[in-house]
Amino acid sequence: MTNVVKLTEVSLRDGSHAVSHQFTAEEVGSVVRALDEAGMHYIEVSHGDGLGGSTLQYGKSLVDEMKLIERAVAEAQSSKIAVLLIPGIGTVHELKQAHELGAKLVRVATHVTEADVSAQHIAKAKELGMESLGFLMMAHSAPVEKLVEQAKLMESYGAEAVYITDSAGALLPEQVRERVRALRQALTCEVGFHAHNNLSLAVANTLIAIEEGATRIDSSVCGLGAGAGNTQTEVLTAVLDLMGQNPGIDVYKMMDLAESVVTPIMKRPQLVDKGSLALGYSGVYSSFLIHSERAAKRFGLDPRDILVELGKRKVVGGQEDMILDVASELAKMK
């Protein structure tokens, strides 16, 4: 591993799922301040489903995300504030707002087979002077050849990096190796990797991605994220330091902020429990876990049955309305 990685800390975006999008401005401010002091490169702040995600379908935010972004920018001295945008949920309007408030980077996220819908937003971000990256979600659900094809599209639109996004935490180590290697050989832009820990493989898979040449890496403090969470920032930075590959992060400060700043705001520990394990096992979008648990309680079902059925139907992010439909159908079959 000789490439210097650039870390994007996603606990204030992916972690929004884990707290039902109830972050306060004070919590965001304290986390950003601590991450900035530890030397974090980028800190992503937005609704769990990206800009514009605060809706009844995806979950209403306690505080408007633009206020959270504004607070994050005010607290960050050296870290850059990033946002996520999923076309169809977020629009150019929200992107402009985030930019005006000081966001410096946007990841434009699409399903792994739908990169064509990202062209407008990648181009607009570049026009605004932001770093503009592509984010191919549910990367486990398409053949490597399709992943390469879609990544090339994002690169052609101007993406400075394209992420392999293991939204379900379903990729096995050799599958990560194969995908990163394929993109590294096919693209001239940077390659990124975003992991979920539903099979307890997030750190291992991330190290393989770095070994294969990925230089844009996501992680979250305490693993705070959807499902079983993401690659744990304090663990990853400690391991990279031991390997002589520390990308400029203060390991002790990362450990301290994980315990004293982030842990107190978590609703529950990020564990590989039966629900999150079922996500990785069935290959379902990690943010579906809490919605499926609620539906299971309503209809008297095992949430794992809902998740497995969603996996069989190849449901993707943005189809959260299907969770209740599936639960209702399963309940009628009991």
List residues forming the annotated binding site: 13-14, 167, 194, 196, 285
Residues annotated within a binding site for Mn(2+): 14, 194, 196
Beta-carbon contacts of residue 219 (< 8 Å; ≥ 6 apart) = 7, 8, 9, 10, 206, 230, 231, 232, 233, 236, 237
From the list 17, 21, 140, 291, the catalytic residue is 17
Residue spans of alpha helices (H) in the chain:
15-18, 25-38, 65-75, 92-101, 119-128, 144-156, 173-186, 202-211, 233-242, 251-257, 274-282, 288-299, 303-312, 321-333
First to last CA, the chain: 52
Q: Which two tokens stand for residue 56?
A: 């009844």
Is residue 130 within 8 Å of 156, Cβ to Cβ?
Answer: no
In whole angstroms, what is the distance from residue 211 CA to residue 280 CA? 23
Beta-carbon contacts of residue 22 (< 8 Å; ≥ 6 apart) = 61, 62
**Is 99 in the active site?**
no
In whole angstroms, what is the distance from residue 35 CA to residue 184 CA? 29
Strand partners, 133: 107
Residues annotated within a binding site for substrate: 13-14, 167, 194, 285
Supply φ then ψ for residue 268, to 5 degrees: -160, 160
Surface-to-core class of residue 152, CB atoms within 10 Å of its CB (0-12 exposed, 13-18 middle, 19+ buried): middle
In whole angstroms, what is the distance from residue 13 CA to residue 10 CA? 5
What residues are annotated to the active site?
17
